[in-house]
Amino acid sequence: MRLIFRWLRENLFSTWYNTLLTVLVIWFLWVAFSGLFQWAVRDAVWSGGAAACQQARQLAQAEGRSWGACWTVIPENLKLFLAGTYPAGELWRIWVCVYISAAMLGLSAGVWRGLVRDVVVALGAAALVLLVLPFSWTERLWMFGIVLALVVPLGLRWVARSRIPRVRWILGGGWLALPILVVWLIGGGGPLPKVESTQWGGLMLTVLLAVIGIVASFPLGVLLALGRQSTLPIVRWFSILYIEIVRGVPLITVIFMASLMLPLFLPGHLRIDQALRAMIAFTLFTAAYIAENVRGGLQSISRGQIEAAQALGLSHWLTTLFIVLPQALRAVIPANVGQFISLFKDTSLVFVAALLDLFNIGRSILANPQWLGTDREVLLFVAFVYWVFTYAMAHLSRRLETILGVGER
Amino acid sequence: MSTVFARIPLWRDVRVLRIGAQVLFVLFIVLIANWFYTNLQINLERTGIRFGFDFLWTTAGFGISEGLPFEPTDSYGYAFWVGIVNTLRVIGLGILLATLLGLIAGIARLSSNWLVRQIASVYIETIRNTPLVVQLFFWYTAIFLKLPRVDESIVLPGPIYLSQRGLALPKPYATETFSLWGYGLLVSLLVALAVYVGRRIYLERAQRPGFAGLWAFGVFVLGAFVGWLVLPGAPIAWEMPTLGRFNLEGGWQLSPEFAALLAGLVVYTGAFIAEIVRGGILAVPKGQTEAARALGLRPLQVLRLVVIPQALRVIVPPLTSQYLNLAKNSSLAVAIGYPDLFNVANTIINQSGRAIEMVLLIMISYLTMSLLTSAFMNWYNRRVRLIER
C-alpha cells in the first residue's frame, strides 16, 4: 500500500504543475473514453447484418439519441477484407499458401531456434486466439490447421536434422522458392485454373505486394549500393542519379507511372497486368531506399577488413562477396525490416493502379449503399489490422537488433 | 621495369578493364533505353499522340474547387500552377504545425508525469504503425464529413466554426493605417540593425559574451508596439467569420479536404518528429548538463547554451528527411480530392491524354521541392554542426 502511494506521488503528483497536469489528463481521458465506450460498446450492433444496423439507427433517431457502431460490417465482409473478390471455390489455394508458409516457419524454428521459435510461438498463440472468436466451425477447422502446420514440423526437426545433411541450405532455398510457389498457387496456371490478378485483393494482396516488393528489391538495392560505392565514375553517377531521383519523388507517382506509362514503353504484344505493374513500381521504389541502407552498412565496414582480405590475396570481387557484403548486410538487417514495415503500409497506395488491397477493399465496401455510414468502423478495423502487423514487425526488429548486437561491436 | 608492365596482357590490365566495364555498362543502358524509346514511338504513333508541351496553353475545361481563382476557360498550364500553389500551401503550414506537435509530443514522452508519458507513447505508436492514407481517409470521411451541417456548426472560442463545409477562422487584414505602420516598421528595422551592429562592436571591444540579436529584436518589437499605440486606428484587424442564412461568410475558410489533409499530415509527421526530438534530447549526455550547472550556468542558460545546440546537431538531419516525407506525402491528397499538383495533373491526364508530359512535370516539381528543402536544411545543418578543432 505504501509502495503504491509512493509510486503515485513520484509519478503523478510530484509537483503542483504535475498534479494539475494529471487531473487535466484524467478529465480528458474520462470524456474521451466515456464517449468512445458508448459508441463502440454500449450502443454497438455486433451481429445481424445491415438490417440490424438500420433498425438500431432508426430507433436511436426516434429517441433522439446518438447511435452506436455497426461492427457487424466486419464479419459480414470478412471474406472481402481477407481475400478480396477471389473466387470462393478457389479459396483453399490461399489456405494452402498459409499452411506452406506456416510449415516452413515451423521447420525453420526447429533448425534455427532462437528468434524464429518465438515468432512461431507468437503466431500459434495468435491463431489460438482467433479460434476463440465467433467464426463458423469450418473456418475454425481451417485455422486450427495453421496451429498444426506450425507445431508439427517443430517435432519433425530431430528427424530432419539427423537424416538430411545441409538442411539449412535446403530450407534457405525453400524460402527463396516460396514467393514463386505462392504466386503460382494464387494466380494459377498449368493444372490450376487461372485467377486474374484483378480478382486478387484484401489482406492477401497487401501481404503479397509487400513480400514480393521487398524480396525483389533487395538484390537490386544491393547492386545500386555497390554501384554508388564503385570507383568507376559512370556506374557511380548512374547509381546516384537513380537513387536520388527515386527518393525525391513520392511513391504514388512511381506507381502511377508504372500503371500508366509502362505499357507505353513496352511492345504491344507484351501485356503486363495491374498487379505486376504495382509490384514493379514497389520494387523500383524500394530498391533506392534499400540501396541507401546498404550503403550505410558498407561504410561501417572498417578499412582494415578490406586490407586484410587483400593481404590474403583475395581479388576485389572475392573481397566484396565474402568479406564486405556479409558484414554489411548483417548490420543493415534492422534497417531493412524498417523498410519492409513502411512498404507494408505503403501498399495501401495501390488505389492509383486500381487494385483492391486491404484498405481499398474497405473503401469499396463503404461505396456499397448497404453499408453507407460505416466509415469509422471499417477504417478503424483496417487500421487495426495494419497496426497489428507493423507493430509485431517493429517488435521483431528490435529483438533482432539486440540478438545481432548491431552497434555493439 | 617498363618491360614488365608492357608484358601485361590487355585483358588483365586494370586500366583497360575499367574503361571496358564502363563502356559495356553504357552500352547496356543505351540498348535498354533505345528499346523503350522505339516501343514508345510505335505506341504513340498508334494512338496518334505526338510528344510536346504545347497542350499546356490550351483551354482546360474543368474547374478547381480551391486555391487561386481558376476558370474552366484558363489553360492547362495555369491549372497545374494552381495545383503547385495548393501543394505549397499544405507543405508550408504542415511543416510548421508538425514541428510544433512533434516538439510537444517528444518532450511529453520524456515527461516526469507517468500519464502524460503514456499518452504520448500511445499516440506515437498507433500513428506510426498505420498507413497515412488510411488516416487521411479517416480524417476526411469519418471526422470532417461527419461534422454537423453549417447552420448547426460547432463554435469554438475565437470564433472558430467547425462544420461539414470545413473550418472557418478569423482572418487578419490590413486597415487603412497599415501602410503608415509599415513605414514605421521599416524605420524600426533600420534602427534595430544599427543597434545590432553597435552592440556587436561594443561586445567585441569589451571582450564579453552577450545577446546582440536579442537587443536588436527588442528594439524592433518596441518600435512596432509604439507605432501600434501612436496610430489613430489599429493597423491590423480581424475579420470574423459570421454565420449567414445558409453559409458561413468572411474569415479564413478552409475546405474539409484541406483541413483533413493538413490534420492527417501534421498528426502523422508529428509522431515521427516526436521520436526524433526524443532521441536528440536523450543523445545529450547527462554529464553535460551537470558540468554546465557546476560551472555556474543558470538552468535556462544550460538549456540554451549546452543542451539545445547539441540536441539540434542530432535532430536536424533526420528532421530534414521528415520534412521531405511530408512534402512527398502531400501527394496523397488525391485520395480525398484536394486539388494539389498530383491531383490536378491526374485530371489533366484524363482530359488530354498527355501522360508522359504530365508525369515528367510532376516528377520535376517534386524533385525541385525536395532539392530546395534539402539544400536549405543542409545549410542549416552546417550551421548547427559540431565544428571540431
Q: Say if residue B360's pLDDT is above 80.
A: yes
Minimal-distance CA residue of chain B relative to A259: B355
Contact A359, A340 (CB under 8 A): no
Residue B111 gets which letter from DSSP?
A: -
Note whether A55 and A175 are same-domain residues.
Answer: no
Residue A2 lies in a domain: yes
Cα three-residue angle B138-B141-B146, rounded to 5 degrees: 115
Quick one: cell of A139? 473456418
CA distance A330 to A335: 10
Q: Could you tell me if A69 and A163 lie in one domain?
A: no
Smallest CA–CA distance, residue A110 to chain B, in Å, is: 30
CATH label of the domain that carries residue A286: 1.10.3720.10
Q: Quick check: B341 and B82 in contact, CB under 8 A? A: no
- A81 belongs to a structural domain: no
Nearest to B328 among A232, A250, A375 (CB): A250
Residues A221 and A326 in one domain: yes
Quick one: average pLDDT of B159-179? Answer: 81
Q: For chain A, say whether B337 makes contact (Cβ under 8 Å).
A: no
Which of B14, B17, B113, B126 best probes binding to A when mutated, by most A CB atoms within 10 angstroms? B113
- Asked if the C-beta of B12 comes within 8 angstroms of chain A's C-beta atoms, the answer is no
Q: Any idea which of A302-306, B252-256, B377-381 has the lowest mean pLDDT?
A: B377-381
Closest CB to B359 among A14, A261, A266: A261
Put simply, whether B104 touches A (Cβ < 8 Å) is no
| End-to-end Cα distance, chain B | 45
**A349 contacts in chain B (CB < 8 Å):** 133, 332
Mean of pLDDT values over B85-93: 93
- Specify whether the CB–CB gap between B42 and A268 falls below 8 A: yes
Task: From chain B, pick out residues whose CB is under 8 angstroms from the CB of A394.
Answer: 129
- Residues forming a β-bridge with B238: B172
Same domain, A362 and A383: yes
Question: Are A279 and A140 within one domain?
Answer: no
pLDDT bucket at B128, cuts 50 / 70 / 90: very high
| Cell numbers at A158, concatenated | 530431430
Contact flag A379-B29 (C-beta cutoff 8 Å): no
Give the distance from residue B179's alpha carbon to the nearest chain A alpha carbon, in angstroms. 42
**For the segment B19-62, what is each residue's pLDDT rounded down to a tens digit?**
888 899 999 999 999 998 998 888 888 877 777 888 888 888 88
Q: Which of A14, A232, A391 sits opposite B129 (nearest CB)?
A: A391
| Residue A83: inside a domain | no
Closest of B186, B175, B179, B185 to residue B233, by C-alpha = B175
pLDDT at position A162 over 70: no
Q: State the CATH class of domain B76-170+240-384.
A: mainly alpha
Confidence of residue A226 (pLDDT cuts 50, 70, 90): very high
Instruction: Please indicate, yes or no, if residue A381 is contained in any of the structural domains.
Output: yes
Which grid coordinates are listed for A16? Answer: 503542483
My answer on whether A145 and A7 are in the same domain is no
Is A177 in the same domain as A220? no
Shared domain for A116 and A232, answered yes or no, is no
Question: What is the rounded radius of gyration, in angstroms, for the C-alpha atoms of chain A?
Answer: 26
Positive or negative: CA dihedral B206, B212, B218, B223: positive
Q: Is A82 a domain residue? A: no
Task: Based on the fold, state whether residues A58 and A151 are members of the same structural domain.
Answer: no
Q: In which domain, by residue range, is A241 found?
A: 196-409
B6: confidence class by pLDDT, cuts 50, 70, 90: low
User: Which of these three, A163, A195, A227, is where a domain ends?
Assistant: A195
**Is the peptide bond preceding residue B170 cis, with omega within 30 degrees of 0?**
no
pLDDT, tens digit, 9 for 90 and up, residues A263-305:
888 887 777 888 889 999 999 999 999 999 998 888 888 888 8
Q: Using a CB–CB cutoff of 8 Å, tell me whether B26 touches chain A.
A: yes
Task: For residues B270 and B272, give the distance between their C-alpha atoms in angstroms, rounded to a whole number.
Answer: 5
Q: Does B114 touch chain A (CB under 8 A)?
A: yes
Q: Contacts of residue B334 in chain A, CB cutoff 8 Å?
A: 252, 352
In a shared domain, residues A11 and A60: no
Of A105-114, A286-295, A399-408, B247-256, the range with the lowest mean pLDDT is: A399-408
Answer whether residue A244 is part of any domain: yes
Cα distance between residue A239 and residue A234, in whole Å: 9
What is the per-residue pLDDT for A409?
A: 45
Domain finish residue from A195, A227, A248: A195
Q: Is the Cβ–Cβ distance between A55 and A30 less than 8 Å?
A: no
Give chain A's domain count. Answer: 4
A285, A393: one domain = yes
| Cβ(B51)–Cβ(B312) below 8 Å | no
Domain assignment of residue A119, yes or no = yes
| DSSP element (H, E) containing B87 | helix B76-109
Could you tell me if the ipTM is greater than 0.90? Answer: no
